[in-house]
Amino acid sequence: MVNCSHSKCGESAVINVTKPYCKSHFISYFESKVAATVKKYKLISKKDRVIVACSGGKDSTTVLYLLNKWFGNVTALAIDEGIPGYRNVTLEDLSSFCSRNNIPLKTLSYKETFGFSLHDALKKVDVLPCNICGTLRRYLLNTGAKGFTRIATGHNLDDEAQSIVMNFMKGNLELAARLGPLTGVVESRKFVQRVKPLYFCHEKEVAAYAFLQNFGIRFNECPHARISFRAAIRDFINGLEQQHPGAKQNIVSNFIKVLPKLKEKYAASSSISYCRGCGEPSSNELCKACIYVNSLKSPAVAAVQHPQKLQSFIY
Ligand code: SF4
Ligand code: ZN
In 132-214, where do the E strands start and end?
Answer: 150-152, 193-195
The bound ligand whose nearest atom lies closest to the alpha carbon of 143 is 2
User: In the prediction, which pLDDT does 45 show?
Assistant: 92
138 lies in the same domain as 250: yes
pLDDT at residue 101 is higher than 60: yes
CA distance 36 to 285: 41
118 lies in the same domain as 152: yes
Give the range of the structural domain holding residue 18, as residue numbers without chain letter.
Answer: 1-33
For the residues 68-74, what does the mean pLDDT come to? 94
The bound ligand whose nearest atom lies closest to the alpha carbon of 138 is 1
Ligand 1 in contact with 130 (CB < 6 A)? yes
User: In the prediction, which pLDDT does 311 show?
Assistant: 30
User: In the prediction, which pLDDT does 218 show?
Assistant: 87
Q: What number does the ligand 1 atom closest to the CA of 134 have?
A: 8
Q: CB-side exposure of 269: number of CA atoms within 13 Å? A: 8
23 lies in the same domain as 57: no
pLDDT at residue 305 is higher than 60: no
Instruction: Give the lowest-confidence range in 124-128, 186-190, 233-237, 289-293.
Output: 186-190
C-alpha 166 – ligand 2 centre gap (Å): 24
What's the pTM? 0.89
Confidence of residue 79 (pLDDT cuts 50, 70, 90): very high
pLDDT at residue 110 is higher than 80: yes
Confidence of residue 302 (pLDDT cuts 50, 70, 90): very low
51 lies in the same domain as 95: yes
Ligand 1 in contact with 115 (CB < 6 A)? no
**Number of Cβ within a 10 Å radius of residue 306:** 11
Residue 315: inside a domain = no
CA distance 49 to 72: 10
98 lies in the same domain as 231: yes
Kindly report the protein residue whose alpha carbon is nearest to atom 2 of ligand 1: 130
What is the number of domains present in the chain? 2
CA distance 210 to 217: 8
Residue 181: inside a domain = yes
For the residues 292-313, what does the mean pLDDT come to? 49
